[in-house]
Amino acid sequence: MFSRYKKPSGATPAKKAAPTKDASAANTAAPIGRVEAAAAPITSLRRPLPVTDARAAPQDKERKRKERLGEIKLDLHRSLLDNLNLSALDTATEADLRAEISAITAEVLEERSIVLNREERSTLTQELYDEVRGLGPLETLLKDDTVNDILVNGPHQIFIERDGKLEMSDVTFKDEKHLLRIIDKIVSAVGRRVDESNPYVDARLLDGSRFNAMVPPVAVDGSLVSIRKFKKDKLGIDDLVRFGAFSEEMAAYLQAAVACRLNIIVSGGTGSGKTTTLNALSSFIDNAERILTIEDTAELQLQQVHVGRMESRPPNVEGKGEVSPRDCLKNALRMRPDRIIVGETRGEEVIDMLQAMNTGHDGSMTTIHANNPRDGISRLENMVAMAGIEMPLKAVRSQIASAVNLIVQASRLQDGSRRMTSITEITGMEGEVISMQEIFRFQRVGLTPENKIIGHFTATGVRSNYSERFRLWGYDLPATLYEPTRPE
């Protein structure tokens, strides 16, 4: 039925290599190199391990230049601290501070008879400025819009995610002390503390980016920092369709689903695009509705006029003042919401979320961590059980089945691309089991030699359970929308 059976390349050798394993996994076919593999010794059946260029050392000359600049910077930093009036720093304007730094830099360079070209000099002053005012080495990465995530594994290893791929950046901290100083700067700005007795912390950077740090000795090889950069311009539905995250047909279906107030769960692994999807889906909500959002870190950016935003809060250093997502949710129910959007459901707030969905707050949405829709349901069941609710499993399941209408699965695939791999409706209960039907899915058919995934979005041929509701609400979707797509 699908084109993978028509494709001439790679079909037979793949069978030979894995005779019984998984007939549906067409992506296990390795079109390149398999032809020779038949004649070669046994071990060559395995693909050669990829050489990671992430660790590739920079060219020697470049490294030496960097080291020299690093030394000068250290020296200069010391001179700056000696010469700058630190207490006046907070009130100094950017221009004044920059002028001051340039002057001190010029002085020190002349004193040591060091000649730098214009570019080196301006990089140096910028880095010193970042050090004094901003977040040191992190500053350049935070300013780089192509970077999504920044992951620090100790002072000398900073990985970044660009276009869905992790790469090692050439930015480093001087040492662990330097890294700790920057972490401290970030967390103290939000009134938190991180040290041996309190070794991990969540915070939000000034620009809205999500920040997590864990310090030694719990972090064994140096502090671990993870930053999810805040995107001012969130990806909208059109962008996502253009990037191939889902198809136009899926977008039309989702528009109907959101507008007709289905309760939707976006499920996905870490960094798979759940929050982005939730944000994009919310654009289909009518402007006249009152929406309340609850998040751990306010990431959502809703376009509607009538939005109340809440951010839960962890306990402070004395263990007081916690406002949990559940507290926010309970309070939200007293605030006359038309819809409630919970950034992520991960704990006991699941109870109130399901109840809200079941009792007149139709059209509510949330995300959960799960790898497929079926797992998503199990996650919900587990969360209910862990919240200490004594309820027979069947009752929990029927509560879930009547609360949740739709599960949208977001995935980050092995080539780094993020796609909506499934849209699944929950149709009710069959005996003890929650019944579901998949309406759309991403059909993988193979892998290019460059390891890019080949595939297409398709309807499954199953008509939506809600098509009548869509029609009554003015979203009469054509029957052709549910027909499977056959790629050329």
Task: Assess 268 for contact with ligand ATP (CB under 6 A).
Answer: yes
Residue 465: CB minimum distance to Mg ion, A: 28
Among 106, 112, 243, 461, which residue sits at the site for ligand ATP (rule: CB under 6 A)?
A: 243
- Beta strands at 210-214 and 200-204: parallel, antiparallel or unpaired: antiparallel
29 within 8 A of 446, measured Cβ to Cβ:
yes
- Record the tokens describing residue 85, joined without a space: 């009036």
Residue 246: CB minimum distance to ligand ATP, A: 8
The residue (of 211 and 482) whose beta carbon lies closer to Mg ion is 211
Distance in angstroms between the alpha carbons of the first and the last residue of the chain: 12
The residue (of 47 and 143) whose beta carbon lies closer to ligand ATP is 143
Q: Radius of gyration of the chain from Cα atoms? A: 27
Residues from 273 through 302 that contact ligand ATP (CB under 6 A):
273-276
| Residue ranges of E strands in 106-163 | 147-153, 158-162
Task: Assess 414 for contact with ligand ATP (CB under 6 A).
Answer: no
The residue (of 123 and 148) whose beta carbon lies closer to ligand ATP is 148
The residue (of 73 and 419) whose beta carbon lies closer to ligand ATP is 419
The residue (of 105 and 282) whose beta carbon lies closer to ligand ATP is 282
349 within 8 A of 373, measured Cβ to Cβ:
no
368: phi then psi, degrees, rounded to nearest 5: -140, 160
The residue (of 172 and 276) whose beta carbon lies closer to Mg ion is 276
Q: Is 446 helix (H, G, I), strand (E, B) or coil?
A: strand
What gap in Å lies between CA 252 and CA 16, rounded to an integer? 42
Q: What is the dihedral of CA 205, 211, 216, 218, to 10 degrees?
A: 150
Question: Residue 326 touches which of ligand ATP, Mg ion, none (CB < 5 to 8 A by kind)?
Answer: none
Per-residue x/- marks for Mg ion, 261-280, CB under 5 A? -------------xx-----
Task: Assess 282 for contact with Mg ion (CB under 5 A).
Answer: no
What gap in Å lies between CA 362 and CA 341, rounded to an integer? 11
Residue ranges of alpha helices (H) inside 144-288 are 176-189, 237-242, 248-259, 274-282
80 within 8 A of 132, measured Cβ to Cβ:
yes
Q: Which residues contact 166 (CB under 8 A, 6 or more apart)?
A: 54, 151, 159, 160
Question: Residue 473 touches which of Mg ion, ligand ATP, none (CB < 5 to 8 A by kind)?
Answer: none
Question: Residue 200 touches which of Mg ion, ligand ATP, none (CB < 5 to 8 A by kind)?
Answer: none
Per-residue x/- marks for ligand ATP, 195-234, CB under 6 A? ---------------------------------x--x---
Question: Residue 276 touches which of ligand ATP, Mg ion, none (CB < 5 to 8 A by kind)?
Answer: ligand ATP
Among 272, 411, 424, 458, which residue sits at the site for ligand ATP (rule: CB under 6 A)?
A: 272
Question: Residue 240 touches which of Mg ion, ligand ATP, none (CB < 5 to 8 A by kind)?
Answer: ligand ATP
**Chain residues that interact with ligand ATP, rule: CB under 6 A:** 148, 228, 231, 235, 240, 243, 245, 268, 270-276, 418
